[in-house]
Structure 1
Amino acid sequence: MDSTKTYTVDEARKKLEHYCAYQERCHKEVRQKLRDMRMIPEAIDVIMVQLISDNFLNEERFAQAFVRGKFRIKKWGKNRLRRELKFRDISKYSIDTALKEIDLDDYYSTLDDLIQKRMAQVKEPNVYKKKKKVADYLLYRGWESALVYEKLNDYFG
């Protein structure tokens, strides 16, 4: 982006409408984009209000799309999803609403698939070390520890 270019409020709003229409965005991202465009705080507030009232920006919709996408594609667990949304300054209410989007049967079967896939990848003869490596992998991806160990105990007895 050309750092010397200046924008009127209308130009900036139009640019951000396209930015938000292309992909769901969180408020934090949009605010940062406006700062990068060298908009003054008052203009940022005016544009943010406009984008929200015209439904280009919607925190709850962003959170739901984020959760669906990261769960389906990256197979993240609820802890990681919650952490990433908090990092984006999403409200607790929107986070909780978004996490309810995940079907529990899908959630458990995804965890089972991940465990089976990872157990096949980990070449470790020691059963305890193998269990720990698989658990670490899942915990890093944000799966709840109680759930991970419960499922691993089903596999390892």
Structure 2
Amino acid sequence: MKYFWKLNAVSAIFGALLGISSELMVNVYRISRIWEWELGAVVSGVDRINIGIAALSLILGAFIVWRWLEGRVSSYWSLLLWIPYFVLFVFLAAQLFPETYQGDRPAPVTGLIIIAMTIAYPFYLALPVSLGVWLNRRQKRGVPAIPIE
């Protein structure tokens, strides 16, 4: 039962990472208006944050699967279990921060980008999950998980 909660916590982290990324993309106009920053600076900052989130999810995901989920094959369930957490995160963000100004509506192409990100995300997550499982199997065989010379 303890592993079940760990798996759900990891899935919630994966869902939150994509949720934060998509919410930042949707709210660039709102961030620009409220903080009175130039739109180009906000878009550039959001792009940098999204790249950082992508790198963080690779490194953090592999480490969490390796250490916390013990590299079990059932870790692959996190490739599907992040979806309800992502939906919950986006729903809560929409309820907590409703759109009150029509100028804050994102461009229509933003929705298509988020749909593409959501479709590609399980394939993207397969890399850190597989890496974590591989590192654990390597460690169990007695070979150093990360060969540092």
TM-score by length of 2: 0.34
Larger helix share, 1 or 2: 2
Larger Rg computed on CA atoms: 1
